[in-house]
């Protein structure tokens, strides 16, 4: 007697969910198709596997026996699949971006990578430009067109910046103080902008992007943030017009020899689509939360 794994998988879903209707969601098959598959399996075995009633499907003793054996087959198939995927996923696509953009991609990871992909994804977060020419990354999201002859780039949007405060203000904001940036992050254009114009009124500094945002949200002072960050956080309020001089383009950069590989092209196309769908947010045109 030969059993097909697809038939056993259908049986497992119906048995675990207690009926045909519930199993339609997990199998993608109609209730009528599931019913025919279960009936065919019962004919093959020679006895009923379920007690059928208006309340659903309940396993017979033969069904209980088959369930135990089918679960053993399922475990073996899962082990085989993991072994196969381990070989297939030796290819890792490395995507470099700044802290804010990396965080945005992470929040939308389902748009960029799925468990069905035949490759893995590694996010390389850095304030400084990662050297794609030396293959330290396969793709990079940058704020300017690449100039190196061995790199290819396509513009995928633009990024606007604004001045933000927290909703719950403490003395720092009341006194007109600012939150600055220390360490490596102090070299970004927005950090230099604050230092040049309001350096004498910086009361608190953070040495990474997330700390600066949390300090602003907590009311420690005003600071400059990308609009796709500030407008997406209900704890923050944009308190002034967009800072035009900080607006930057957004480029997706890759090595010209790698850009046509299936894995790199797939991730690149998904990143471009994600940014296109969120373009108004990145341009500061669609704040998700407004001050009252």
Report how many helices (DSSP H) and strands (DSSP E) the chain contains, helices first: 12, 12
Of 128-132, 184-188, 217-221, 268-272, highest mean pLDDT: 268-272
pLDDT at 229: 96
For 222-251, how does the pLDDT look when each residue is reduced to its tens digit (9 = 90+)? 999 999 999 999 999 999 999 999 999 999
Q: Does pLDDT of 118 surpass 80?
A: yes
For 62-90, how does the pLDDT look when each residue is reduced to its tens digit (9 = 90+)? 999 999 999 888 888 876 765 665 555 55
Any idea what DSSP says for residue 21? H
For 159-191, how does the pLDDT look when each residue is reduced to its tens digit (9 = 90+)? 999 999 998 776 666 667 999 999 878 888 999
Q: Does pLDDT of 136 surpass 50?
A: yes
pLDDT at 124: 87
pLDDT at 292: 38
pLDDT at 134: 52
CB 123 within 8 A of CB 97: yes
With b for 16 or more beta-carbon neighbours within 10 A and e for fewer, the 149-159 pattern comes to eebbbeebbeb
- Name the percent of the chain lying above pLDDT 70: 87
* Residue that has been written with the tokens 């199998």 in this structure: 27
- Name the percent of the chain lying above pLDDT 90: 57
Please state, rounded to an integer, the average pLDDT across all residues of the chain: 86
User: Quick one: which of 212, 217, 219, 216 has its CA closest to 181?
Assistant: 212
Distance in angstroms (rounded) separating the CA atoms of residues 267 and 113: 7
What Å distances lie between residue 215 and 100, 165, 194, 278, 284, CA to CA? 15, 9, 15, 26, 21
How many other CB atoms are found less than 10 A from the CB of residue 253? 24
Distance in angstroms (rounded) separating the CA atoms of residues 223 and 202: 9
User: Quick one: which of 159, 164, 156, 152 has its CA closest to 257?
Assistant: 152
pTM of the prediction?
Answer: 0.64
pLDDT at 86: 56
Of 88-97, 213-222, 260-269, highest mean pLDDT: 213-222
pLDDT at 74: 83
């Amino acid at each position: 007697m030969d059993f097909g794994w697809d038939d056993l998988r259908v049986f497992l879903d119906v048995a675990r969910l207690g009926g045909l209707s519930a199993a339609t969601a997990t199998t993608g098959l109609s209730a009528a198709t599931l019913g025919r598959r279960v009936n065919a399996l019962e004919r093959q075995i020679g006895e009923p596997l379920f007690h059928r009633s208006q309340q659903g499907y309940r396993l017979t003793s033969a069904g209980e026996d088959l369930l135990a054996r089918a679960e053993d087959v399922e475990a073996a198939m899962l082990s085989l699949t993991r072994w196969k995927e381990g070989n297939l996923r030796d290819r890792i696509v490395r995507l470099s971006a700044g802290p804010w953009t990396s965080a945005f991609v992470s929040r939308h990871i389902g748009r960029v990578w799925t468990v069905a992909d035949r490759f893995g994804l590694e996010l390389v977060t850095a304030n400084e430009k990662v050297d794609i020419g030396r293959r330290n990354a396969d793709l990079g999201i940058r704020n300017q067109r690449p100039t190196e002859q061995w790199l290819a780039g396509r513009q995928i949007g633009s990024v606007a910046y604004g001045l933000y405060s927290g909703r719950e203000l403490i003395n720092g904001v009341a006194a007109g103080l600012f939150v600055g940036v220390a360490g490596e992050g102090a070299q970004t254009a927005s950090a230099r902008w604050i230092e040049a114009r309001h350096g004498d009124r910086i009361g608190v500094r953070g040495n990474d992007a997330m700390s600066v945002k949390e300090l602003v949200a907590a009311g420690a002072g005003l600071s400059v943030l990308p609009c796709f960050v500030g407008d997406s956080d209900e704890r923050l309020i944009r308190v002034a017009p967009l800072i035009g001089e900080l607006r930057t383009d957004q480029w997706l950069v890759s090595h010209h020899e790698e850009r046509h590989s299936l894995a790199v092209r797939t991730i690149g196309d998904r990143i471009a689509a994600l940014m296109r769908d969120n373009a108004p947010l990145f341009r500061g045109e669609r704040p998700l939360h407004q001050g009252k």
